[in-house]
Amino acid sequence: MAHLLQYVLNGLANGSMYALVALGIVVIYRGTNHLNFAQGEMALLATAGAWWINDKGVPLAAAILLAAAIAFIGGGVIEFGLIRPAGRKSPFAVVVVTIGLFQGLNSFTSLLFPKVGNGVKFGTLFPNKPADFFRLPGGAIWRYERIGVLVTVLVITGLLFALFQKTKVGLAMRMVANNPESAKLAGVPTNRILMMSWGLSAAIGAIGGALIGGINANINVSTMFGVFLLASAAATLGGLDSPLGAVVGGLSLGVIESLVSNYPKNWVASTYIGADTAIAVAFLIILVVLLVRPSGLFGSSRVERV
Amino acid sequence: MTTTMQSTSAGAPKAWPRPIPDSSPLHWVFRVIGVAVIAAIAIYIGLNATPSTLGNVTEACILAIAAVALNLLLGFNGQISIGHSTFVGLAAFAAGYTVNFWHWNAYWSLVLGIVLCFLLGFALGLPALRLKGPYLALVTLAVAFVWPTVAKKFLEQKVKKNSLKGTHLSPPTWTGLVSKGKDARLDKAIFLYWCGIILLLVAYVVVRNLRKSRIGRSLVAVRDNETAAAVMGVNLKFTKTITFGISAAIAGTAGWLSAARLDVFNDTSFTILNSIKYLLALFLGGAATLLGPIVGAFAYFFLDDYLRSHAPHWTWLPGQLSKGPIASFLLGAIVIAFVFIAPFGLVGFVKDQARRVFIVTPRPLRPALTPSALDDERPEESKGE
Amino acid sequence: MSVLLEVTDLVAGYGAVQVLRGLDLSVNEGEVSVILGANGAGKTTTMRAISGMIQRNGAVRFGGEDITHTSPNDIVKLGIAQVPQGRGTFTDLSVSDNMRAGAYVRKGGAAQADLDEWYEIFPRLQERRDQKAGSLSGGEQQMLAIARAMMSRPKLLLCDEPSLGLAPIITQELFAILGRLNAERGLSILVVEQNANLAVKIAHSVFVLETGSIVASGTAEDIAKDDSVRKAYLGY
């Protein structure tokens, strides 16, 4: 039992980071129906920025917030300058632009911050000395840092829900996501709202990237690569247009990954299942879920216009 | 200024764009010239190039075959796949393993690779029946992500090494490319070069014939409107899964060629980054055109090659810029710029420009359908008077 | 009677396709105007052009102000609300969120008093205020669309084929409500309709639209007397 609890706790910490990046993906998908392949690399650039600001002597928390603010503006600029004009060409064009951004931003990060190209140490916001943990009944340990990450992600998720449900901007975002034409007729400046969606998504990504950097104690140009894949898988599992789905999907993906990579070795001395194949099993589970629910767990299946 | 003056003074109103009826003698002349020029270039390179240039062109052919495969699926059938690197990798591993461990003939390993890829592609096509757009994209993404871990396990368990040797395909004696010693490298390069050209040609012809057939029309119908296509009697399940299978099989030939070219390869040789390269090459050339993926692949490959070898030496770049991955950044920027300059790729761009000079007018479907067919025997002259 | 909306020489379309070719119409303050026309005459395009949803040339004046180059959201702020064809329901949002969505342009959002007022007029909506709007019936969605549009407290309401896909009895109810809104609150309304009988009953003036321009116009009585129009659009 202690093992089970331990694996779940570890999984929740990783899963919460997938959830945060997945939220970024969902915020954009809801607004524009586009999968942003550059989500991870946008977060990488912002995290590298946070490292740089921190390196100049600004406290880490402030550096991360500042980087998130800059990312907010950057996300808006990308939407305004690239995505929207590309959208006028064709939906395909947007896909190409985000894939181009994926490649461009990754190398841009190492051009702008050459040190990040080779990997740099990244600080953490939470106490992470060897003795910083709770011992839960049964013997499982819960490190403060993991608790901190989980709580941060849950708080951000809560704030995001409050934004969507309680504020006018959030209402406008839901309107644009659901029916852009009607939103326009109701007087919503849809373009500005889409810009804000991209900005919001980039800012969320920046915070997610910083948390990941903190847990890994390091960032480099390939940090976001795997995280983006897992986060997009999480978003798909939950349903690409559902923020709740992103969180549930992220957390469950983290837990599945942790359980699969640790458990079977206790049952069977399998040479084929282990830490590195856990992802494969996780993806298989997602595939099965998608076959049963093609729009994910919480996604709304839209009727296609013919 | 001068050009406009000349064109008005030439006094040929409405002569341009000039209509060329499809499959008319003039149209055939253009086609024959086009094919002849390409064939001449291919032969010239085959006879004169150095081993490293031949290797580069072969590498570009591999990229082109993969892009052609992806074009069939994405361009003509509208199903996105970010998993094509998996098919390429699967066929490469199949070839490398059977040749080195089971001592198969390399050509049989091509057959095996094609069959395996077709089956895997077909299987991947099954979820595609229920999943759409980004959900499908993510499933294929997952496959591409899982492949390296599977490949690594395979290397650990079966090969007991961290890499697999290439097939070291050597030219058969009838080609005459059997020099020993110094020239052996050149001979091998020439042989692989022709393998690449021929496989690319085969892939092109397969896709072209598919596209122009009844199946091709149903592919496009499914892409444009699935429901409408189904209502018109297109078998959705068959069309989508078979297209996935054929596309995967074509990608498999690219993998086999890789295995023949590379000395060693491992689990990191065929990753999502390769899939992204196929996508970018396809878009650069123009998706949903027959020549687009080939043009795009060659353009992408040589642009990439040029930037990688030259950009680090651009001393006029400010500060540290030339030391970083400037080539990769520029490539991304160029691809994005292309979306705005030529949204339908290089081929689309050239077609648009050519349309100002010549317009190929389609053949009438059947003479019986046009009642005035008899009067249309010499339409241009009579209208001109 | 002052003119609230005045459209002169309106030209609009989609890309290379020109739909409206110099259209003139006007809506007086406190009156109901009806545009009659067959499929493809350009009725919906007219509505979209007035709301600024598509590129347009010519002159559109609202309350004396030129709004030809005004953006859709500013046009809504000035007081034109549109009930789009097909109702434009925010299907994933709850009924009450749909109502709030209608009040988007108002500073501070929806006042509870407004919500209560419209729930009183449409009690069905109150019963279902926490349901997803997509689960409402067609008639209920049409009521919701009108209530939503009215939440912005418009001076002019544009209704694009409100009867589309509704049972005759619901359509009657609907036009009764539009008539009441006009009579009791002095709301100006511009309705586009194919089934003209009900619409003409509440109308003060009528415009007949054919292939992108107005071919006949006049008071409701005049139009009802015109034989050709009557035969073509009123069916008797």
pLDDT for the residue B322: 62
Quote the pLDDT of residue B324. Answer: 65
- Nearest chain A Cα to C74, which residue? A187
The pLDDT value given to residue B321: 63
Judged by 3 or more CB pairs under 8 A, whether B touches C is: no
CA angle B76, B290, B297 (to 5 degrees): 105
Mark yes or no for CB contact A240/B340 under 8 Å: no
* The pLDDT value given to residue C18: 86
- pLDDT, residue A302, reads 55
Average pLDDT score, chain A: 87
A89-103, A238-252, B313-327: lowest mean pLDDT where?
A: B313-327
Instruction: Answer with the residue of higher pLDDT: A145 or B118.
Output: B118
CA distance B111 to chain A (A): 28
Chains A and C touch (3+ CB pairs under 8 A): yes
Q: Is the pLDDT of residue A247 over 90?
A: yes
> How far apart, in whole angstroms, are the C-alpha atoms of residue C209 and residue B55?
69
Question: B145 and A279: CB-CB below 8 Å?
Answer: yes
Name the residue with higher pLDDT: B374 or A288: A288
User: Nearest to residue A283, comparing CAs of A257, A255, A244, A246?
Assistant: A257
Residue of A nearest to C100 (CA): A171
Which residues of chain A have a CB within 8 Å of the CB of B127?
A: 287, 290-291
Q: What is the pLDDT of residue B10?
A: 42
Task: Give the number of other Cβ atoms within 10 Å of residue A133's Cβ.
Answer: 17
Judged by CB atoms closer than 8 Å, whether chains meet at A185 and C148 is answered as: no
Average pLDDT over residues A191-219: 93
Facing A300 at nearest CB: one of C92, C148, C152: C92
pLDDT for B373: 43
What does the alpha-carbon distance between residue B330 and residue A262 come to, in Å, rounded to a whole number?
Answer: 43
**Nearest residue of chain A to residue C86 (CA atoms):** A182
- What's the CA gap between C203 and C189, in Å, rounded? 9
Better-scored residue on pLDDT, A66 or B144: A66
Q: Which chains reach chain B with 3 or more Cβ–Cβ distances below 8 angstroms?
A: A
Chain center to CA of A291: 23
Tell me how far apart the alpha carbons of residues B315 and B329 are, in angstroms, rounded to a whole number.
Answer: 17
Q: What was the pLDDT predicted at C94?
A: 92
Subunits with 3+ Cβ pairs within 8 Å of C are A
The yes-or-no verdict on residue A185 having pLDDT over 60 is yes
Asked whether the predicted pLDDT for residue A223 surpasses 80, the reply is yes
Q: Measured between alpha carbons, how far is residue C126 from residues C98, C108, C131, C150 in Å?
A: 12, 22, 10, 16
- State the pLDDT at residue A85: 92
pLDDT at B319 over 70: no
Q: Do A186 and C71 touch (CB under 8 A)?
A: no
Q: What mean pLDDT do residues A174-203 have?
A: 93
Answer yes or no: do A187 and C77 touch at CB < 8 A. Answer: yes
Q: Tell me, yes or no, if A193 comes closer than 8 A to chain C by beta carbon.
A: no
A95 interaction partners in chain B (CB closer than 8 Å): 80
Distance from CA of C75 to the nearest CA of A (A): 8
Q: Distance from A245 to chain B by nearest Cα, in Å? A: 14
Domain ranges of chain A: 2-292
The shortest CB-CB distance from B336 to any of A104, A107, A287 is to A104
Q: How confident is the model at residue B274 (pLDDT cuts 50, 70, 90)?
A: very high
A6, pLDDT greater than 80:
yes
> Nearest CA to C47 among C159, C199, C193, C144?
C159
Residue B379 has pLDDT above 60, yes or no: no
Per-residue pLDDT at B246 exceeds 90: yes
Cβ contacts below 8 Å, chain A against chain C, sum to 66
Tell me which chain A residues have a C-beta less than 8 angstroms from the C-beta of C93: 174-175, 178
What are the tokens at B138? 């993510």
Using a CB-CB distance cutoff of 8 angstroms, which residues of chain C are in contact with residue A182? 84, 88-90, 101
**Residue pLDDT, tens place only, B197-214:** 999 999 999 999 999 888
Three-state secondary structure readout of chain C: CCEEEEEEEEEEEECCEEEEEEEEEEEECCCEEEEEECCCCCHHHHHHHHCCCCCEEEEEEECCEECCCCCHHHHHHHCEEEECCCCCCCCCCEHHHHHHHHCCCCCCCCCHHHHHHHHHHCHHHHHCCCCEHHHCCHHHHHHHHHHHHHCCCCCEEEEECCCCCCCHHHHHHHHHHHHHHHHHHCCEEEEEECCHHHHHHHCCEEEEEECCEEEEEEEHHHHHHCHHHHHHHHCC
| Model confidence at A301: pLDDT above 80 | no
C3-79+154-234 classified as CATH 3.40.50.300:
yes
- The sign of the dihedral angle between the CA atoms of B126, B132, B137, B139 is negative
Pick C84's closest partner by Cβ from A172, A185, A300: A185
Contacts of B279 in chain A (CB under 8 A): 96, 99
Interface of B with A in 37-96 (CB under 8 A): 80
For residues A80-85, give the mean pLDDT.
93
Do the Cβ atoms of B343 and A90 come within 8 Å?
yes
Taking the CA of residue C227 and the nearest CA in chain A, the distance in Å comes to 37
pLDDT at C119: 92
Residues of A within 8 A of B130 (CB-CB) are 290-291, 294
Domain ranges of chain C: 3-79+154-234, 90-153
Q: Which of A265, A263, A271, A286 is nearest to A7 (CA)?
A: A263
Q: What is the pLDDT of residue A306?
A: 35
Tokens standing for A20? 């945060």
Q: Name the residue with tokens 């070291």.
A: B168
Cβ A272–B153 below 8 Å, yes or no? yes
Please give the pLDDT value at position A303.
47
Residue type, B115: V
Q: What is the pLDDT of residue B19?
A: 79
CATH architecture of A2-292: Orthogonal Bundle (1.10)
Contact B239, B216 (CB under 8 A): no
Over residues B294-316, the pLDDT tens digits come to 999 999 999 999 988 887 777 77
CB contact under 8 A, A290 and B131: yes
Q: How far apart are CA B115 and CA B140, in angstroms?
A: 19
Hey, what are A69's tokens?
A: 């603010």
**Which residue of A290, A295, A304 is the best one to mutate when testing the B interface, meaning the one whose CB has the most B CBs within 10 A?**
A290
The helix (run of H) or strand (run of E) holding residue B20 is strand B18-21
Average pLDDT rounded to a whole number, residues B151-157: 87
pLDDT for the residue B365: 60
Alpha carbon distance A203, B260 (integer Å): 46
Interface of A with C in 227-246 (CB under 8 A): none
B345/chain A closest Cα distance in angstroms: 10
Largest Cα separation within chain B, whole Å, is 81
- The Cα of A181 is separated from the nearest Cα of chain C by a number of Å equal to 8
Q: Above 50 in pLDDT, residue A220?
A: yes
| pLDDT recorded at residue A251 | 94
> What is the reported pLDDT for B376?
45
Closest to C73 (Cβ–Cβ): which among A171, A177, A188? A188
Q: What is the mean pLDDT of residues A170-197?
A: 92
> Average of pLDDT values for B66-87?
93
B362 φ/ψ angles, rounded to the nearest 5 degrees: -70, 150
Say if residues A38 and A32 touch (Cβ distance below 8 Å): no
Which residue from A117, A279, A295 is facing B324, i.e. has the nearest CB? A117
Distance CA B28, CA B22 (A): 9
**Does the structure show a pLDDT above 60 at A231?**
yes
B157, with CB counted inside 10 A (0-12, 13-18, 19+), is: exposed
B136: confidence class by pLDDT, cuts 50, 70, 90: confident
Do residues C85 and C44 make contact, with C-beta atoms less than 8 angstroms apart? yes
Least confident of A89-98, A236-245, B289-298, B315-324: B315-324
The pLDDT assigned to B12 comes to 45
- Decide if pLDDT at A269 tops 70: no
A247 near B87, Cβ under 8 Å?
A: no
Crossing angle of helices B272-285 and B345-354, in 10° steps, is 0
pLDDT greater at residue B19 or residue A66: A66
Segments of chain C with pLDDT less than 70: 1, 109-110, 234-236
**Bridge-based pairing state of the strands C32-37 and C56-62:** unpaired
Verify whether the Cβ–Cβ distance B323 to A114 is below 8 Å.
yes
What Rg value do the Cα atoms of chain A yield, rounded?
A: 20
In angstroms, the CA B195 to CA B46 distance is 11
Task: Please count the other Cβ atoms lying within 10 Å of the Cβ belonging to residue B99.
Answer: 23
